[in-house]
Amino acid sequence: MIEEAAKLIAHSRFLIAFTGAGISAESGIPTFRGHGGLWENYRVEEVATPEAFRRNPSLVWDFYKMRIRKMKDAKPNKAHLALAELEKMGILKAVITQNIDDLHRRAGSENVIELHGNIYRVKCTSCDYRENLKESGRLDEFLDEGELPGCPKCGSLLRPDVVWFGEPLPEQALDEAFNLARRADLCLVIGTSAQVFPAAYIPMLVKDEGGRIIEINPDNTGITHLADIILRGKAGEIMDGLLKKIRHEVRR
Q: Is 27 in the site for ligand OAD (CB under 6 A)?
A: no
Burial level of 172, CB count in 10 A (0-12/13-18/19+)? exposed
Select the residue interacting with ligand OAD from 8, 20, 104, 246 (CB under 6 A): 20
Q: How far is the CB of 252 from ligand OAD (least distance, A)?
A: 28
What residues line the site for Zn ion (CB under 5 A)?
Answer: 124, 126-127, 129, 151, 153-154, 156
User: Considering 11, 80, 116, 248, which one is annotated as catalytic?
Assistant: 116
Q: Please choose which of Zn ion, ligand OAD, none residue 186 contacts, taking the beta carbon within 5 to 8 angstroms, the exact cut-off set by kind.
A: none
Query: 200 phi and psi, to 5 degrees?
Result: -65, -10
Binding mask 192-231 for ligand OAD (x = CB under 6 A): xx-xx--------------------xxx-x----------
DSSP state of 164: P
Give least dist CB 149 to Zn ion, A: 11
Answer for the pair 211, 187: CB distance below 8 angstroms, yes or no: yes
Q: Which of residues 28-67 bind ligand OAD (CB under 6 A)?
A: 31-34, 37, 48
Contact 169, 115 (CB under 8 A): yes
Which of the choices Zn ion, ligand OAD, none does residue 217 contact, using the CB cut-off of 5 to 8 A by kind? ligand OAD
d(CA 152, CA 133): 13
Greatest distance between any 2 Cα atoms in the chain: 61
35 is catalytic: no
How many of the other CB atoms lie within 10 Å of CB of 164?
A: 18
Q: Is 223 helix (H, G, I), strand (E, B) or coil?
A: coil
* CB closer to ligand OAD out of 10 and 32: 32
Closest distance of CB 147 from ligand OAD, Å: 25
| Residue type present at position 164 | W
Q: 31 contacts which partner out of ligand OAD, Zn ion, none, CB within 5 to 8 A by kind?
A: ligand OAD
Alpha-carbon distance values, 242 to 79, 170, 226, 231 (Å): 10, 32, 21, 10
Least gap, CB of 206 to Zn ion (angstroms) = 39
Distance CA 215, CA 23 (A): 12
Q: Contact residues for ligand OAD (CB under 6 A)?
A: 20-22, 25-26, 31-34, 37, 48, 98, 116, 163, 165, 191-193, 195-196, 217-219, 221, 234-235
